[in-house]
């Protein structure tokens, strides 16, 4: 949980999220940016991470990350 100041609307917003880990490799997350909720499903293996997300709960997207 936190606070963010947005210059577009010139106001302070509450932001936050949570993460649920189902297995060592699979988790789900919800991020609240102060306006919309963005749910994600994450799969990680070694240093690779794959995410499926719904921007504003509607628009699908994919993400890939690598840690080193």
What is the tens place of the pLDDT at every residue in 4-54? 988 888 889 999 999 999 999 999 999 999 889 999 999 999 999 999 999
Q: How many domains does the chain fold into? A: 1
Residue 8 lies in a domain: no
Residue 7 lies in a domain: no
Write out the two tokens for 39.
């749910």
Count other Cβ atoms within 10 Å, centred on residue 42: 19
Residue 57 lies in a domain: yes
Give the structural domain span for 31. Answer: 15-66
Per-residue confidence (pLDDT) for residue 9, from 0 to 100: 80
Reported as a single tens digit per residue, the pLDDT across 51-64 is 999 999 999 999 99
Residue 1 lies in a domain: no
Comparison of pLDDT for 3 and 6, the residue scoring more: 3
Residue 6 lies in a domain: no
Residue 38 lies in a domain: yes
Per-residue confidence (pLDDT) for residue 36, from 0 to 100: 92
DSSP 1-68: -EEEEETTTTEEEEEEEEEEE-SSSEEEEEEE-SS-EEEEEEEEETTEEEEEEEETTTEEEEEEEE--
**Partners of residue 28 on adjacent β-strands:** 20, 41
């Amino acid at each position: 949980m936190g606070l963010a100041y947005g210059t577009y609307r010139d106001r302070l917003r509450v932001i936050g999220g949570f993460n649920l880990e189902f297995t060592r490799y699979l988790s789900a997350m919800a991020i609240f940016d102060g306006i919309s909720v963005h749910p994600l499903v994450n799969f990680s293996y070694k240093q690779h991470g794959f995410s499926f997300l719904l921007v504003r709960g509607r628009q699908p997207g994919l993400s890939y990350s690598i840690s080193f």
